[in-house]
Amino acid sequence: MSKTKQITKADILGLTIPLFAKYGYDKVSMRQIAEAVGIKAASLYHHFPDKQGLYMEALAQTFSKHADFMNESFTLQASAEQRLRQLIQQLCTLVNEDTDFSRLIQREIMDGDEKRLQFLADHVFGDFFHDMNELCLELAPDQDPHLMTVSILGLVVYHYQISSIRSFLPGFQDSHNDSEVVANHVFTLLKNGYT
């Protein structure tokens, strides 16, 4: 960062998110963040109360930059099935293209820090998960919407979580890395399951 430009919270978050995604919460210090941003560690505290506060805002920003894109599926004037198809396509695109987002979420789930997970549930994913539950309830009123939502997310996310090994497994084709191919596959599986 140039010394003539005033550093904003957005600048700090933009440079910090990749660090947390790559190394995890415990392995990134405020000093490392300050070095990446190009400021003194003490200056970080003018923007954030502590590392935990900075991290929570980084998590929120990572998802919020995609929120409008993801919420299009819930407001689309279309059948529930068409909204599900679009939602799955958008999820595949997001998880495939934003590796920092994917890594951060995977790290949080694996770390299991209850305070951070509660924050994610309350302030980052709560509304999105609620809207998914509503869509699932509309699609399959006789199914548990919570379990169906978790299953949809699992089908999408896991595919990308194991991407580093998939190419070595029998039957792999290059097209399996295409988010549209994955989305169509997941949608077909789900449609066959609830109809």
Q: What is the 3-state secondary structure (H, E, C) of the chain?
A: CCCCCCCCHHHHHHHHHHHHHHHCCCCCCHHHHHHHHCCCHHHHCCCCCCHHHHHHHHHHHHHHHHHHHHHHHHHCCCCHHHHHHHHHHHHHHHHHHCHHHHHHHHHHHHHCCHHHHHHHHHHHCHHHHHHHHHHHHHHCCCCCHHHHHHHHHHHHHHHHHCHHHHCCCCCCCHHHHCHHHHHHHHHHHHHHHHC
> Is 4 a residue whose pLDDT tops 70?
no
More confident residue, 104 or 78: 78
Q: How confident is the model at residue 170 (pLDDT cuts 50, 70, 90)?
A: very high
Q: What is the pLDDT of residues 28-43, one digit of tens each?
A: 999 999 999 999 988 8
Half-sphere exposure of 185 (CA within 13 A, CB side): 12
Q: What is the pLDDT of residue 5?
A: 64
Buried b (16+ CB within 10 A) or exposed e, 99-108: eebbbbbbbb
CA quadruple 134, 91, 11, 33: dihedral, nearest 10: 100
Residue 154 corresponds to which tokens in the numbers above? 């699992």
CATH code of the domain occupying 62-194: 1.10.357.10
| Mean pLDDT score, 6-17 | 89
Q: What is the pLDDT of residue 133?
A: 96
CA distance 23 to 11: 19
Q: What is the pLDDT of residue 110?
A: 86
pLDDT above 70: percentage of residues in the chain: 97
* For the chain, domain boundaries: 62-194
CA distance 59 to 158: 20
Given a contact cutoff of 8 angstroms between Cβ atoms, the answer to whether 50 and 111 are in contact is: no
Q: What is the pLDDT of residue 108?
A: 86
| Mean pLDDT score, 159-172 | 92
> Is 194 a residue whose pLDDT tops 80?
no
Q: What is the pLDDT of residues 65-87, one digit of tens each?
A: 888 788 888 988 999 999 999 99
